[in-house]
Amino acid sequence: MNTNTLSRNTILLIEDEENIRSFISTTLKNQGYKIITAATGTEGLHLSASLCPDVILLDLGLPDMDGMDIIRQLRTWTSVPVIVISARSNEHEKAKALDCGADDYITKPFSTVELLARIRTSLRHSSQMSDQPAMHQKPYHHKALTINYSDHVVTLEGNIIHLTQIEYKLLTLLARNSGKVLTYTFIMEKIWGPYVDNNNQILRVNMANIRRKIEKNPAAPEYVFTEIGIGYRMAESD
Ligand code: CA
């Protein structure tokens, strides 16, 4: 993505803490983004509707509304990427925000590099969703791993990796969303359907098998990372 593309992207920041608002605004302006800010949930929802931003950064702890309600309201009419800014290290809450329809989260305090990476990933995903049918999605490629969706082939250093059907579905779900965290609940429902038991043992077992097949050292993965208490995130495709 070049600078010209970036400069056209508008980001709405919904955050009540003034110092964080000004820090994020300055950082993003310096990167060429156009930034709009709101200090309350009500104002944030209003601006989302009137200005149609490309990404929304949402603080979960706002004075007038519960962050989860904001996400739910947004999701009734827009698929704009929502990145939750959470001060709390509460994994349950982050997972809940993702399951309500947020795309990703970032925990305070965060680095500028981290923030920009999350925004880039979200923008990339939303543009892919709008102009690329899944069938024509370009292959996943990172380090030695390649996944070719059209012919269902996964290779590591050029050698074909044999995966079960479930393992393939699981790996490609993560790869198609590479760079983004996917919650256990989301993955379980996508792979095993809505009536699956919410015990995620079956997911862990399958993930362990995938890691044995694709990771040099499954304890220090290069491709699929565990977000403790939340889910998994696959390394972003090159
Ligand atoms: Ca706050």
pLDDT of the residue at 130: 61
Instruction: Measure 206 CA to ligand 1 centroid, in angstroms.
Output: 38
Do 117 and 164 fall within a single domain? no
Do residues 207 and 141 share a domain? yes
Q: Do 35 and 116 sit in the same domain of this protein? A: yes
End of a domain among 82, 108, 131? 131
Whether residue 100 sits in one domain with residue 203: no
Distance 4 CA to ligand 1 centre (A): 32
- What's residue 131's pLDDT? 59
- Please compute, for residue 182, the number of CA atoms within 13 A of its CA located in the half-sphere on the CB side: 23
Domain count along the chain = 2
Q: Are residues 94 and 18 in the same domain?
A: yes
Instruction: State how far the Cα of 130 lies from the Cα of 128, in Å rounded to an integer.
Output: 5
User: Separation of 40 CA from ligand 1 center, angstroms?
Assistant: 9
In angstroms, rounded to a whole number, what is the distance separating the alpha carbons of residues 33 and 10? 6
CA of 80 to the centre of ligand 1 (A): 21
Q: Which of 131, 157, 181 is the last residue of a domain?
A: 131
- How many Cβ atoms from other residues are within 10 Å of residue 150's Cβ? 10
CA–CA distance, 152 with 82 (Å, rounded to integer): 31
Of the residues 106, 131, 156, the one at which a domain ends? 131
Q: Are residues 156 and 66 part of one domain? A: no
- Which is nearest to 103 in space by CA: 66, 54, 33? 54
Say whether both 103 and 147 belong to one domain: no
Q: Is the same domain home to 154 and 64?
A: no
The CATH number for 212's domain is 1.10.10.10
Euclidean distance between CA atoms 212 and 77, whole angstroms: 41
Phi, psi angle pair for 160, to nearest 5°: -70, 130
> Is the domain of 14 the same as that of 95?
yes
Q: Which of 154, 159, 158, 156 is nearest to 170 (CA)?
A: 154
Q: Which domain holds residue 57?
A: 3-131
Interatomic CA distance for residues 228 and 230, integer angstroms: 5
Q: Let me know whether 116 and 54 are in one domain.
A: yes
**Token pair belonging to 110:** 């965060």
The CA-to-CA distance between both ends of the chain, in Å, stands at: 12
Run of H or E including 106:
strand 104-107
What spacing in Å lies between the alpha carbon of 234 and ligand 1's midpoint? 29
CA–centroid distance, residue 31 to ligand 1 (Å): 24
**Max Cα distance, the chain (Å):** 55
Residue-level pLDDT, tens digit, the chain, 238 residues: 444 444 579 999 999 999 999 999 999 999 999 999 999 999 999 999 999 999 999 999 999 999 999 999 999 999 999 999 987 678 889 999 999 999 999 998 899 999 999 999 999 888 776 655 555 678 999 999 999 999 999 999 999 999 999 999 999 999 999 999 999 999 999 999 888 777 889 999 999 999 999 999 988 999 999 998 999 999 999 9
CA atoms within 13 A on the CB side of 209: 15
pTM of the model as a whole: 0.81
Residue 171's pLDDT is 98
Q: Give the residue carrying structure tokens 């997911």.
A: 203
Q: Which pLDDT does position 127 carry in this prediction?
A: 78
Do 113 and 177 belong to one domain?
no
Q: How far is it, in rounded angstroms, from Cα 109 to Cα 118?
A: 14
**In the prediction, which pLDDT does 126 show?**
83
| Whether residue 144 sits in one domain with residue 121 | no
What CATH number does residue 8 fall under? Answer: 3.40.50.2300
Please name which of 25, 27, 59 lies closest in space to residue 43, comparing C-alpha atoms: 59
Token pair recorded at residue 205: 């077992």
